[in-house]
Amino acid sequence: MSYPMAKDPPPSDIQIRVNSRRNNSVIHPVDQSDSAPASATPSPFREIKHFKKWVTWLIPLFVIANTIVFIITMYVNNCPKNSVNCIATFLGRFSFQPFKENPLLGPSSSTLVKMGALDVNKVVRGDQGWRLITCNWLHAGVFHILANMLSLLVIGIRLEREFGFVRIGLLYVISGLGGSIMSGLFIQSSISVGASGALFGLLGGMLSELITNWTLYASKFAALLTLLVIIVINLAVGILPHVDNFAHIGGFVSGFLLGFVFLIRPQFGWVRQRYAPSVSARPKFKMYQCILWVVSLILLIIGFTAGLVMLLRGFNANDHCSWCHYLSCVPTSKWSCNTDPASCLANQIGNQLNITCTSNGKSGIYVLPDASNSQIQGLCVGLCS
């Protein structure tokens, strides 16, 4: 904040010119004659930095952490030892599972469970509630983590620069938890991993931030329309198979409500009175901002408490909503939405392993002495897919 030596003019001569917060966070109280030539008397009006620009470091750190966790997951997976066939075998123990087992170029499902994937059965009956958090730091494959981390950089860096690492860090983590709770209530026959719930929380936060800080935006409706199109497209992708759209929806709703709590901005009238004392006093926040803050906080507390209680008691939301499964996958002639885990009958005779998939009746004979459980599971997934 800089204060020029000249005497300030009367407050009645002051105007506030706002540069869009997207490009510049500085608010300039200026005289109506600020377009005077440079040779004129220097402007006596102060330049006020209204919104601080933060240095972004947390979001890049999140990207690094997710990448390290994925590398560790691939190391633990050790495909050459635990599977019959692997992709990119030149990578050694970092090679990928077969495409039929994991088309995203990643580890096996058993490895993901070992690393902390969301498995509702283990959360409810194994008292492993920590999986609701750890699943947000795991990814199913190279394609999965690339898509999520690129999105996190694009969305997260802008938000952290505007609102700081504390608020955006909390928004990210809590939204991820909200996505996990929603996923656990609806998807109970398969595991779930990925940062998508937290990412959709950031999108939801952007939307609520636009609404609660509506008066700060110049092109309000254009910004709203653009953001809504992005959100709708991303949610529409969730109806494809093997995509956990319930995590997306839960994360988005959590982030949307959190945005009203964490991302609220003071109104400009309050800013002006700080630097022009004779201006009539105005409250720091508008009434609608305060109402949204209180309502959102209440809904968050009720929603998270009820969701956790129902999940830990083994509540299956599909039993009470016969159509809700279409929110996560819409079956077509091109794909199936069956999420039941692969189940096979295996019979080891000497060096010969006979496997039969119980869902489609396909069978296979493999020369594999002393097959491990992970090897049998990988072959079973290939037969049943």
Active site residues: 196, 248
Spacing of C-alpha 150 from chain mean position: 12
Dihedrals phi, psi of 211, to nearest 5 degrees? -70, -50
Classify the C-alpha dihedral 167-168-171-173 as positive or negative.
negative
**SS3 labels along 218-262:** CCHHHHHHHHHHHHHHHHHHCCCCCCCHHHHHHHHHHHHHHHHHH
**C-alpha to C-alpha distance for 270 and 285, rounded to whole angstroms:** 8
Residue by residue, DSSP assigns 42-61 as PP-PPBEE-SPPPPP-HHHH
**C-alpha to C-alpha distance for 175 and 155, rounded to whole angstroms:** 14
Pick from 38, 255, 45, 35: which is nearest to 136 by CA?
Answer: 255
3-state class (DSSP) for residue 188: coil
Pull the structure tokens for residue 108: 């096996």
With a CB cutoff of 8 Å and minimum separation 6, the contacts of 260 are 208, 211, 212, 292, 293, 295, 296
What is each CA distance from 66 to 107, 146, 149, 255, in whole angstroms? 15, 10, 8, 20
